[in-house]
Amino acid sequence: MAPRDDSLGDLFSRHLISKEVQASMVPGYLLRPLQPTDYEKGFLECLGHLTTVGEITKAQFMDRFAYLKQHNYEYFTIVIENVQTSRIAAAGTVMVERKFIHQNGLVGHIEDIVSHPDARGKNLGKAIIDALKHIGASVGCYKIILDCSEKNIPFYVKCGFSKQEYEMVRRSGSCLLLSVPPTHTRHVTDRSGAFLRATLPRSSEGRPALDMRICDAICAYWSHLHL
């Protein structure tokens, strides 16, 4: 079991954080590696503006953090913190793939780029990308690649990327457990689109009449049957 406290510190060495990128940012924002306390600072909430995150406890967050830290020569997750509010304003990851081709070459894969809606248009997204490019180059990647939706192509072009080749995808049947507002509703879906929507009956006062854990148990049983 991973430590549940915050003693693990930075995910990786701050030497890999570009001073030039930090200096180029609007004042009041700090670029740095992910830290355990980013759980409380809204890291997952920020990621929620990219895609579904689910409900992750601090212990689950720390399990994943500890794994990434053990592999912090290939996983580099960075954040930008609003220093005044202590909230995460932007985040991103570069993952380093070890190849045989190109003389045991290294390729960086940029993933999970997001800036908080409150902080968009301040060049923080671009700062995240520039910082990840710097990390990739520093650890020896011969190229850095990413997938994106069509609407984000202009953003990545501004970050120095160009369109090349096509993305192919085949979804596995793995389960996604989603919670959507109002919180007494759960969605379970497999990646082919089949899903269960479980909504708790409400009491006459309008509150959920059952514990949310019952709803979770129903979802888990459905997943067991269908996935």
Ligand X SMILES: CC(C)(COP(=O)(O)OP(=O)(O)OC[C@H]1O[C@@H](n2cnc3c(N)ncnc32)[C@H](O)[C@@H]1OP(=O)(O)O)[C@@H](O)C(=O)NCCC(=O)NCCS
Terminus-to-terminus CA distance in the chain, angstroms? 27
User: Applying CB under 6 A, does 158 fall inside the site for ligand X?
Assistant: yes
| Least distance from ligand X to the Cβ atom of residue 149, Å | 6
Query: Hey, which residues does 94 pair with through a beta bridge?
Result: 76, 110
- 21 lines the binding site for ligand X (CB under 6 A): no
Q: Give the closest residue to 76 by CA, choosing from 14, 123, 127.
A: 14
Indicate which single residue of 68, 79, 91, 124 sits in contact with ligand X (rule: CB under 6 A): 124
114 in contact with ligand X (CB under 6 A): yes
Burial 23-48 (b: 16+ CB within 10 A, else e): eebeeebebbbbbbebbebbbbebbe
58 near ligand X (CB under 6 A): no
Determine if 161 is a binding residue for ligand X (CB under 6 A). Answer: no
Question: What is the number of other CB atoms lying within 10 angstroms of the CB of residue 71?
Answer: 13
> Does 148 sit near ligand X (CB under 6 A)?
yes
Structure tokens at 130: 């520039």
Cβ proximity to ligand X, 162 vs 204, nearer residue: 162
Min dist. Cβ of residue 131 to ligand X (A): 12
CB of 98 to ligand X, least distance (A): 23
15, 101, 150, 151: which one contacts ligand X (CB under 6 A)?
Answer: 151
Residue 123 within binding range of ligand X, rule CB under 6 A: yes
- Written in H, E and C, the secondary structure of 4-60 is CCCCCCCCCCHHHCCHHHHHHCCCCEEEEECCHHHHCCCHHHHHCCCCCCCCCCHHH
Q: State which residue has the least CB distance to ligand X.
A: 125
Q: Which residues bind ligand X (CB under 6 A)?
A: 49-50, 113-115, 120-126, 148, 151-152, 154-155, 158
